[in-house]
Structure 1
């Protein structure tokens, strides 16, 4: 089926469900947002409305940093031969903040050929005494940032580049976010916001960087936090500030060291920073700064050393991304559980690919026979058990199809420290697929669950993690995208934290499986994997996905489609409702690893048509730990 037609059918199905669940007015409103986003202008789409900014300014009118009720945030900015027009835009963005709780600390390392930098700063200082300045010797960006910090008096610090622009509500929103964390009794030492790229005018942004809540595995692959990051000055000083030996990736290094102390971070999904794209900027690509990769790998290697974990840091699949090849602890055995009903051609392809390609040799395969009717199937089992050492077939004693019950039964025969749920219609592509899944789990501090990259036979993505809330319930990240791409913010090409992964290929620690009592058998066909992962996540464990374990999935060849069978369709609808009943609709719709400014209508990480949270300047900060 044509990809566009697939998406159109899925969107229509979602519209029907939304109408049933929330009524026609809600569906029409969402549809209007979709049309507006697709076909009309996007000017200033990430900025709060004029009335919102005016209300913030009115709330703070006549107040100072000392009596405005918000914590003071000192912004650290090294200057170096800054073009005058860029510098003026940056300084103006600070001067025109809606709240007075900011302090701008400038360390100017410009050479003698650029006296205009100091002249422009002194001009702005006459307008705003919250700008502090000193000339420094140029010792590199980390040392210059540390020099700016010596001017700071705020309880918090933030980092900003000299050629970028602050959103007008950056200090107000971050100040309110800190207070909100304190009110909730949550840690307030480290926060970050979303950001956007622009070339000339922040009212005409190129694209938004809409980030997940704190995602530790993602942070090891790239510095997704970037701007605007805010953290306690006392913590920065305790850590000794930024490290000159990591120049080029000094912020990534700092964030890793901060996380080691805080155990997590708070995310404010507001666009508070505009990153200028021009020749020579990091936002324009790391080709402009080739030393960045070496610095990033040092930062990551040092982080592993400090946290007592072992692995090798390598370049990732794309520039500015990285990969940690974790050392696997011990020699864990993996029990691969494969439900099967007839379809021995599919099963043979699956088994042959496992035995012929898998480099990790400590595994067993348990085929769970499920009501096969073809006598040839049972003859095949006997032959396969002779050909494949470590294969055994167990027979599920019940009738009908219940994916959860079948796998729960298979688990009883499993002897491994890890269980791998695997569909019979998948085929292994790379030899270290199972090793890679284990790498993510079988080390100190590893994840409890890991999912794999699954491709359709036509070389498009079938699964790159599961996002809850897509289509109202759950969907696959980057589904139907062509193989080989990086995805949104490298999220289809780096190890990722997710709320769930598909049960078509899911590795889980056996102890965790037992702790949550396996799959919920009331989810007979749909959402059993999502429910299972959410229960594991809610126990405090991590769920990750890796692009380095790759398989081809001949999806639904065994069972066929459900949408044309009224009985199956009714069962599917009941399981949808059960997902809401068990986990709560809000929990399903608000996936912490998916940004509220991204659409729920498709699986391509495109921008939502409903950006009211941004237009209203809504402060809803969300803290997560590791």
Structure 2
């Protein structure tokens, strides 16, 4: 059997006279592989470590306070369009609260209610509308499917960017701030998306989806952009959107 060895050289730029090396044989390499595999496991496949990682990367209350005082050179208006259909109370309230808690304040929330006979939802929508002038409500006579319902909301949107949010989604409080910051860093940006994860019924987070920069090959394979998608309104208005044949795949469309 052939024997493989790795030779590591060790140098210190601050002390050029110091240098050394180490040799690792097969047995040591296997131990190293096992150790590094456990230490360097991707967070996306390590559910026990993800909550801790998330806590370390969330914007703190102090950071959110600072974000709320920032004035960018460009302060885009974000129109967050949410199609509603028999939305459960808990999900609706969590979604609305996550928008109200945004550290970036230049937004409007466009609620498109396609279940006018659901009196409980109608009341919740009206309560939300009365809570903040930035919340707009569109009442549809009937449900035409998520694509056409969403399109009805985009037609009433006044923002520089249209943002697509489902009725069971929530946003991190720094989300719109980060989008505004990205737009100011790349002022020709027409489309923005972000990582996402799942919020489970017990209040815990998991199953994160960490996404790359734009990948045409990946886009042709899976709906990886998905949530939370924002697109410049002037570009969106040039597209043909709202075909019900894409219901269920409307985000990818």
TM-score of the superposed pair, with normalisation by structure 2: 0.77
CA distance in 2, matches of 1:205, 1:232: 30
**Equivalent runs, 1:264-275 vs 2, <5 Å:** none
2:51 touches 2:206 (CA, 8 Å); kept in 1? no
2:13 maps to which residue?
A: none
Are 1:9 and 2:32 an aligned pair? yes
Q: Relative to structure 1, is the Cα distance of residues 46 and 162 closer, same or farther in structure 2, using a 3 angstrom cutoff?
A: farther
User: What do residues 107-150 of structure 1 show as CA deviations (whole Å, max 9, x unaligned)?
Assistant: 100151x2121211221222211111011121100000000112
Match of residue 120, structure 1, among 120, 124, 147: 124
1:157 touches 1:231 (CA, 8 Å); kept in 2? yes
1:125 aligned counterpart, secondary structure: helix
1:84 touches 1:117 (CA, 8 Å); kept in 2? yes
CA distance in 2, matches of 1:40, 1:196: 10
TM-score of the superposed pair, with normalisation by structure 1: 0.33
Q: Relative to structure 1, is the Cα distance of residues 201 and 94 closer, same or farther in structure 2, using a 3 angstrom cutoff?
A: farther
CA distance in 2, matches of 1:197, 1:6: 37
CA distance in 2, matches of 1:161, 1:40: 24
- Runs of 4+ deviating beyond 3 Å: 5-8, 10-14, 37-41, 43-46
User: What do residues 579-599 of structure 1 show as CA deviations (whole Å, max 9, x unaligned)?
Assistant: xxxxxxxxxxxxxxxxxxxxx
User: What do residues 222-248 of structure 1 show as CA deviations (whole Å, max 9, x unaligned)?
Assistant: 101111111111211111333222111
**Equivalent runs, 1:175-214 vs 2, <5 Å:** 175-182=180-187, 187-200=188-201, 204-214=204-214
CA distance in 2, matches of 1:189, 1:218: 19
CA distance in 2, matches of 1:192, 1:10: 35
**Equivalent runs, 1:371-520 vs 2, <5 Å:** none
Q: Relative to structure 1, is the Cα distance of residues 191 and 41 closer, same or farther in structure 2, using a 3 angstrom cutoff?
A: closer
Match of residue 77, structure 2, among 51, 72, 79: 72
1:206 aligned counterpart, secondary structure: strand
2:245 maps to which residue?
A: 245
Are 1:226 and 2:237 an aligned pair? no
1:109 touches 1:144 (CA, 8 Å); kept in 2? yes
CA distance in 2, matches of 1:214, 1:129: 35
Q: Relative to structure 1, is the Cα distance of residues 119 and 218 closer, same or farther in structure 2, using a 3 angstrom cutoff?
A: same
1:126 aligned counterpart, secondary structure: helix
2:152 maps to which residue?
A: 147
Cα offset, 1:57, TM superposition: 2.4
CA distance in 2, matches of 1:92, 1:244: 29
Q: Relative to structure 1, is the Cα distance of residues 129 and 41 closer, same or farther in structure 2, using a 3 angstrom cutoff?
A: closer
Q: Relative to structure 1, is the Cα distance of residues 77 and 39 closer, same or farther in structure 2, using a 3 angstrom cutoff?
A: closer
CA distance in 2, matches of 1:144, 1:68: 34
Q: Relative to structure 1, is the Cα distance of residues 207 and 216 closer, same or farther in structure 2, using a 3 angstrom cutoff?
A: same
CA distance in 2, matches of 1:83, 1:49: 29
1:242 touches 1:251 (CA, 8 Å); kept in 2? no
Task: Point out where structure 2 has 5 or more consecutive residues left out of the alignment.
Answer: 1-27
1:92 maps to which residue?
A: 97
Q: Which of the pair has more CA radius of gyration? A: 1
User: What do residues 72-99 of structure 1 show as CA deviations (whole Å, max 9, x unaligned)?
Assistant: 1111111000001110110111111111
User: What do residues 132-174 of structure 1 show as CA deviations (whole Å, max 9, x unaligned)?
Assistant: 1011121100000000112200011110000111111111111
Q: Relative to structure 1, is the Cα distance of residues 248 and 57 closer, same or farther in structure 2, using a 3 angstrom cutoff?
A: same
CA distance in 2, matches of 1:236, 1:39: 39
2:132 aligned counterpart, secondary structure: coil
Q: How many residues align?
A: 218
Cα offset, 1:40, TM superposition: 9.7
CA distance in 2, matches of 1:211, 1:97: 22
2:161 touches 2:230 (CA, 8 Å); kept in 1? yes
Cα offset, 1:49, TM superposition: 2.2
Q: Relative to structure 1, is the Cα distance of residues 40 and 223 closer, same or farther in structure 2, using a 3 angstrom cutoff?
A: closer
Cα offset, 1:106, TM superposition: 1.2
Cα offset, 1:47, TM superposition: 2.1
2:136 maps to which residue?
A: 132
Q: Relative to structure 1, is the Cα distance of residues 173 and 39 closer, same or farther in structure 2, using a 3 angstrom cutoff?
A: closer
Q: Relative to structure 1, is the Cα distance of residues 249 and 72 closer, same or farther in structure 2, using a 3 angstrom cutoff?
A: same
Specify which structure has the bigger relative contact order, considering alpha-carbon pairs within 8 angstroms and separated by 6 or more residues.
2
2:15 maps to which residue?
A: none
1:105 touches 1:131 (CA, 8 Å); kept in 2? yes
CA RMSD of aligned residues (A): 2.8
User: What do residues 295-343 of structure 1 show as CA deviations (whole Å, max 9, x unaligned)?
Assistant: xxxxxxxxxxxxxxxxxxxxxxxxxxxxxxxxxxxxxxxxxxxxxxxxx
CA distance in 2, matches of 1:38, 1:80: 34
